[in-house]
């Protein structure tokens, strides 16, 4: 159950846009629409911010957007704000009769 690959860290200045990649295989990221993204602030539980590749739950800022190309999913944060500083994890479904898999996690720093 190998983890999906994410960059360890990404940084940007307030107002800028950043993109976090999440690379898997045709058996997970590339194989279905069930790619999700979670935001986790220090000491807090994760929070769902993107589901089914590009959908935002109610209440999540439209500055967060998701996409996918082949075996790589991406999370873009536009208009970066200080409160976006957090860890971000992707996750993907690997088919029936099995659990999903998380990415390795990316720490976003707002400079």
Partner 1 sequence: EVQLVESGGGLVQRGGSLRLSCAVSGFTFTNDWMSWVRQAPGKGLEWVANINEGGSEKYYADSVKGRFTVSRDNAKYSVYLQMNSLRADDTAVYYCVRGGTTANFWGQGTLVTVSS
Binding site for partner 1 (CB under 8 A): 1, 3, 34, 36, 38, 45-48, 51-52, 57, 89, 91, 93, 97-105
Nearer to partner 1, 24 or 79 (CB): 24
At its nearest, how many Å lie between partner 1 and the CB of residue 15? 29
> How far from 82 is each of 16, 70, 79, 89, CA to CA, in Å?
11, 32, 10, 18
At its nearest, how many Å lie between partner 1 and the CB of residue 75? 15
Nearer to partner 1, 55 or 81 (CB): 55
Look-up of token digits 């159950």: 1
> How far from 43 is each of 2, 40, 69, 108, CA to CA, in Å?
25, 8, 32, 15
């Amino acid at each position: 159950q190998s983890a999906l690959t994410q960059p360890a860290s990404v940084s940007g200045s307030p107002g800028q846009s950043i993109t976090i990649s999440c690379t898997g295989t045709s058996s997970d990221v590339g194989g279905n629409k069930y790619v999700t993204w979670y935001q986790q602030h220090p000491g807090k539980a994760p929070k769902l911010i993107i589901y089914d590749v590009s959908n935002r739950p109610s209440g999540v800022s439209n500055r967060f957007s998701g996409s996918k190309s082949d075996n790589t999913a991406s999370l873009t944060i536009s208009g970066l704000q200080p409160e976006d500083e957090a860890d971000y994890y992707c996750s993907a479904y690997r088919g029936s009769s099995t659990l999903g898999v998380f990415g390795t996690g990316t720490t976003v720093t707002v400079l």
